[in-house]
Structure 1
């Protein structure tokens, strides 16, 4: 058979073990030859180069010098040298054939037939030399027996050599056949993955249409039976969409074709997004606890999309297979020379796995055959995707599972550090005294109690604050009488069983009270208690702690007297909102509708701060900012400029900072985030906190209304329970009492609900509560914004239709970008999301997606504007003006989490007197 060098290279790959066998044989043979040479008096000098050659062969093997084929040839050459040295001595003449056969077998393991020929030739030379030598020295020995031995010994060697070549040919054929099959299977798998990818993409479009249309139908349907059916359709559509996404991800993993997209991200933002996505998977009776080490760097760099998928699959998998108990996600980090190792530990109390199931869990489409799996469904791709993405990110994964007890998965992923400051911190931790009315003993599983205790201890240690935990109302009353708490966290059951006492405590004191509960819980109207939705974890806790304390919120307000601000935005509605909000800080506000107009105004007037929209027609905000700093007066280089944008992704803040902005505020404007930025960029001398007569009057009125509502709630509870007791009550009774009043759950806390006016908007799916929050719960201002939004509708729709017909995607994206922002500002989140999808499609040049969604957005936009005009058009002037600045500002929106370095001072945790469990810094305990 003809042998090609290519085949030889492939064969050497097959017979990798021959290297070690030949090297070991050389060691043994060289030692044996040395000993035999000493005993028989052979020449000593050849042993020196032989030993040197053996040592050199080992060095080449250890250092992997040269190619595999080149090294195997060198090894066999040395081996043939040993064979020749042994065979040239007359005493070895008829033993040489056995030694040669052993050499041929070793050469056969290499898969190279030429080495067999080399061995046979070496044997023939040595054997022929000995025969000639014997015939000259002892011709009398050549009898019939001698001749037969001279003939048969070479014949045996030739036969063994021929068998060796036949074996190599057979192995080569088998190898080539196997490789062809592997190649065919690989190609078939590739075609199958391509097919799945194409099918998934084709299915995704109609599924998205089903989801979108079902959302619209849900908003427009009032019939309960139809509403239930539509929600089932939407739920099924989301499940199909998730499975399509899994198939596409698995195809990427299976083909090892990873599209890496490395970017900066904030861990807080990633977890916030994941919590929102995971909430539908949370079950009643299963606790989900997230525990983050506050020392973990605030901003990291990696492929954040893949990191999200890893955490999402691991967490949803754990929730899926856990019927009772809890799921505990712990996130920590380990410093490394390249940054950190981000460590994810996901522990559940679920079904667990056998060793066999754990070994197969990374196989594609594999699922353990049990009741949980059949009930939970799925394609069995999640762990395969996780394993592939972890490998792609350079990390590793390990699983520890016990059947019937649960599973722990640890993932370690290398990350670069962008911002080394801790991901969680609180302002002035020394002033914080936290109370926690949390009874962990209500959880039957000891491991769940341990999860919660660990999380609380880690929060206290990481933030360096003192916390006192109680588990009964009596202990809470005693705690409140003994220390001055700044914040109180109350569990859902604890609140429901003691609602009157908790509400009175919140109303009569400056304590910031937060209830940790599911999103199904409805708080009474006018309550001062905040709802913190489960899961209970560190970032929302830090957000609450970073709010201004209750005294400051109710009695003192921030002012910036004498400050002149320029707001630049191409959207008039955004200018209206910004002018009203900034005016309430006693800031003199000028506006500009474009970047060019801003440059012209700045060349004539001086300002103390500039708020610049990012995405505007013609000149965008970044270019306008740079031209103002460079082309206008030199003094502008020190004037703070703050980016205003609806681009609230985790990387936006860093990108605007790099571009040259001094601060960043996402739209719609978050009040306390705006205040945080202004305190950061403005001189401290111009920022004051004042207690004005307007604020005192408003506070008394608000407290009077809240007291009336609390008394109503208490009366309803007395009707149910017979008498108010500071003890344990049925959760169902209290929830029933809360639901008894004809109060819409959507109504904002602390404000009266204009039910008749806003009902048509709620039927369209507008979140009136959110819109009022963006307007600081000023209904008059909110209505004026609604009318302005609607009055601009005709012009915007005309422009959108024009740019759509012209396929002018650049201008089209600018209009839908503005629509995305303004619709979210009034609470039309669904329209905002669809406008965002059109914006992304226009930026990507995907006109097909725009065609699919354009008409739906236009129709919804028209219905919304018509409804607004029919509801409020007669109540507000045709040209709504900007309300006068009001120093008496309404209730503030939620603060935005601020990040900074954490204090690592050690803390203690343990029970103290009177069954009050205490978490305090060691330094505080010494005082």
Structure 2
């Protein structure tokens, strides 16, 4: 048992227990020989032959005596075998030979003398005590002289020997001086397979592998240390570590990383494909809804269509949020640093915020630092996205009070400006514990309270990531029940340091005729609503009314006008007659049917090309107060407005001052050279539009919509939508007359009359010729449109790219109103030559609500501008 413990031999516990039981059994049996004859048959004292005066103990062995002797000899021989095996295998033990020799001598001494006694070679007294004494002497020498049981040394040896790493110590010639158990196991295996005869060859084999070597499906890492004494090399220590599990784990981790990347790619592709697959039918749903909304429907059907449109936009917002989040996870979200106009950004944000607040009753506080440079470089679209996200959240969670948007300069030098953005509200606030998870994906706080608030819980996550990409961090401060404040700071590059307060956007003004000056007045506090489905008519009317300084809102159909009248306080309404969805007469009746008394007194003036007596009666019967014939005459509409606007809002203007206010240059009245075959009179156009500037703007809009409008007329006739056909040719009659294309206007009027009479066959016969005349005007008007193009303000390629990206984003969000606003703003600027043809096509796609085509074309145009 001593040798087993000393050599740390691992054997089953039951073997140890069996040995203990056997030894104890034999000891008890020997101690009780007086009571049985199992061990000795008999024993007695006999006179000693060596000592005449002494006696010798004589025994007569029984069977168990021989059994015990055999057991004892077996134990001793096993022990000697263990010692010999230890000697052969143990390479690392100091004084190995001497210690093992003493241990063998200690074991053999009692065994040898006992054997001689049993074989009767030695006679007389039992020599066993002498053998045990010799054994103790040999053991003592091993302990005292050679430190066999030194606890510190043994502890070190035990620790080193039982390390999982192999440790080898050699002399300067690479002969092994010490090997722990693991090293001995590895060296033995290598020697057995390779047949190396000397230690230095084995060492060279391992050393030759440099840092790593493989052996029997295991991977080992090797590290060698030189052992020196005063710069003299005494030997080497080599550590061999089994790194099989680490390498396998690394391989597993690599596989898992690849699998994760594959899964992420698959997820990203799935989300991208699904978003595309969902967008495709959504394009159809929202696009067709938009088209249907331009036609006449019952109020109930109109409500259904608006609900479809609203739900589609909400769904699209969710799709875009998920797609943006997926792009960020995949590291594919990109920023585009392009020059942008800060005034344009803040203007767009204000419009979006006001539209989002609508009639909720919330106050929008707009605080812009006037020292902000007018032109910066950055990703305007992403900044806008972050602000809109924050403002939308503020509006969603604020029932009353205000939403405040602030931008201030924190630091500024010659090249960079640090802008501080803040969105604050007086809403429900956020608990402290909820603020920790506020920016986590798909997290929404207080779900029991806010379950009816729309959204995916991704808006803040996306915003935080975008701000991080721009070098900032969104922070939040909130007091529960009192409101929240979200703020961040980002650095932008300065392109033009001129502060926004110093930018002057006022255009040059022209002179005016005597007649127009006599009837001019101003009414800056008057708030009127202008209703017309024809964009050209809206442009011309607003241009004509600009000198009056009134606040003018516009609506595209009667139903929209009724809603706006209910939601705002207007002093007068200018209402077109023939419009899709709901015409002017129906809209006037609907307004008069509203319960409050103010709607009975609201002045409504008809704008119509139908000046027949019966039409006038119809207007008056519908509750309108008067009418103005189209094309609009400036003096006539001024007289009508002056008659029906509240007197306290109207201020007369002296004639000379009126001329300056109208500012219509006499050169605008100059007649252009004409060709009798053109079918177009510039003089007629100036007369109808009121000024050359207004006519040129009208020609530009007319020119760019020729293809889309002509296609729409053909489509309505082909599909048998005669009522829509009549509305379209009615609009063509009016717009053609505005620009001075009198023959086309008269032909369109003839088609309108046939359409009202239901003469489809005549329409099918005459429409192609009229549309040919319509399309031929494109070549005639091109010089005027291009001249107007050259007169427009300049717009950098970077600003065009930003605008096109905004159009793309609006289409993704089904914000068709936003697209119209951007397109209207772009008409004020020169179109770069490389995208001029594409811009014409884009106008057609926008008019046709071709969403997929718009997104593809804006991407193409952006690429052309970047190249």
What TM-score comes out, normalization by structure 1 length?
0.39
**Larger Rg belongs to:** 2
The structure showing larger relative contact order (alpha-carbon pairs under 8 Å, at least 6 residues apart) is 1
